[in-house]
Each structure stands twice: as structure tokens, then as C-alpha cells.
Amino acid sequence: MLQRNLSSIIPQKKISDAEWFALQFDSAKARDVYKIPLPGFPDDDTQKGFTALSGENNMRQAFEFYLHMRKVCQLDTLKQPKVLDFGGGWGRVSRLFLRDTAPQNIYLAETRASTIQLLKDLKAPYTLIHNAPPPPINGLPNNLDLVFAYSVFSHLSEQYFLDWMAYFLKVLKPGGHVVFTSRGHYFIRHLQHLHASETASDPMLAEHIRRLKQMMPHPDEILRLYDAGEFQFYAIGGSEELTPSFFGEAFIPEAYLKRRFGDALMSFSEDVPRVDQSMTVLRKL
């Protein structure tokens, strides 16, 4: 009975992009008018802990990412697509797919147990999976239309990146897509600015800058390697389960992707509005 009820939670009336963005901040209208069960929002500090953004700016970034992959992957031509938000955090991108498909067709996988609990507290209606750092993902179907990951492969080692890409291309339907972001010229310019600036007044930010300077080469060397088409990974580590063995800062240039994936590489862009990372789209041939 629950599955049947959930499958009916797809808006019968078409919602424009502008209205759908506005509805993110009006869950009562989304529920009462369109029968869409939008989850709650974390507090601003929690949001900033994931992306350094909060509120409308945070959602605008997620929305531009969503719109770009929806266009490139022609998702509006699919009926109730099955999608995976890999390393989806508190679900700022997952929630946007509630316009396109039923909640049980949206899978959100996260390595951190605390984030899974946060999603439950926010009453996220998706299928939540607490996955291990390496593949596979237990409980994931083998007929997905789309796998996407925002600011996940900007942090994973090359071996983890390759292992996950191989796995995703297995669980996708033929013609399905993998969309992900990674570090690129925008972040390199940010590092150059940090090297040129004085120490930050915020103690936590100052410590973060110190670790970046200590554990990574000079930004000019990172730029040289990036423009030469080399995958770069610096094992800085993160919080909780995100250990330096696989987590840090990663740069994946277009030339590297062309060598590795050939014709499966559909697009690569560092110019998607508000998306401050490179954005790659792979297609399962």
C-alpha cells in the first residue's frame, strides 16, 4: 500500500522551473497544491558545513546543477526516472527530482552515518542507503537512469574514482548518464588567492588554509599539472568516516577524462552558472 501511494506522488500539473525553485521554500504549497512531500532544511550552520553556502544561495547552486544535467541528459523525456544522488549530503539536489519522479525512485547514498540520521530527521522521503567508501552499494537496483554527484569526486582518490565510475556504468541502463563535479580552474584560482592573502581572522578557516598550504603543492604547480591533463589527488582527509586513505582534494581535467572514457564523455564544462567546479557528463554506450 505504501509503495502504491508513493508512486502517485508526482505532480499532474507541469511546474515551471521558476515556480519549482520558489516551492523549495514553500513546502506547504508543494504539499497542498502539488502533493509533493518536500523534506525540511537543516539550519544554516549545518548547510555551510557541507558547501559553505546556506539558504537561497545554496539552493540556487544546486538548482543550476540540476537544470544543466536535466538538459544535457534529456531527463524530461523519461517517465519516472530512477536516480542516485551519490554522496548526496542533506539532499539539496535530491529534493529537486521530486518534480520528476516518485520518492522511492530517488536513491541517496552517504558514507557518514550522521548524515543518514540528519536525512531521517528532515523526513527525507527518498530511499536512503548508508554505503561503505568503496563500491558496491547494497540495495541499489541495476536499472538506473542517472547517477549524479556534486562535490564528491572533487575529493576522492584516483583509484576510488575509477572504481566508482566502473560500478556506476554497470548499474546504469544503456543510454544512462553519470554526472559529477570536480576541482578545476575555479578552485586553483581560489588557492592562488589564499597563498597571496594574509591569514584569515576566523581560527577554523585559518587552520583550513594552513593545512591546504602545508599538504598541497603551490597553486602554480597544480595549475601546470591540471593543464597537462594529469589527475591530481592530495590526501588531506575529512570528517568522520572520510579518511585520508581516499579523501582529500582531487583535480580531474578534461584531457584525462577523454583518455579514460573516450566516446562515453558527453560533455565537460567549467562554465555552468553558479557551479564553482567542473561538470562532467558520461553516457553509458
pLDDT in tens, 37-58: 999 999 999 999 999 999 999 9
Q: Taking the CA atoms of 74, 283, 185 and 200 in sequence, report the sign of the dihedral they define.
A: positive
Q: By 3-state DSSP, what share of the chain in percent is helix, strand and coil, each rounded to 5?
A: 45, 20, 40
- Report how far residue 264's alpha carbon sits from residue 50's, in angstroms, rounded to the nearest whole number: 30
- The pLDDT score that the predictor gives to residue 131 is 96
Closest C-alpha among 189, 212, 240 to residue 87 = 240
Cell 530512477 belongs to 82
Closest C-alpha among 42, 94, 34, 28 to residue 65 = 94
Cβ atoms 281, 174 nearer than 8 A:
no
Cβ atoms 118, 46 nearer than 8 A:
yes
Closest C-alpha among 50, 85, 42, 47 to residue 238 = 50
pLDDT tens-digit readout, 223-235: 999 999 999 999 9
Q: Look at 2-16, 94-108, 110-124, 244-258 and tell me which has the smallest mean pLDDT.
A: 2-16
pLDDT tens-digit readout, 86-119: 999 999 999 999 999 999 999 999 999 999 999 9
- Report how far residue 172's alpha carbon sits from residue 107's, in angstroms, rounded to the nearest whole number: 13
- The pTM of the full predicted model, rounded to 2 decimals, is 0.92
Strand partners, 180: 149, 280
In the predicted model, is pLDDT for residue 124 greater than 90? Answer: yes
Averaged pLDDT for residues 112-135: 97
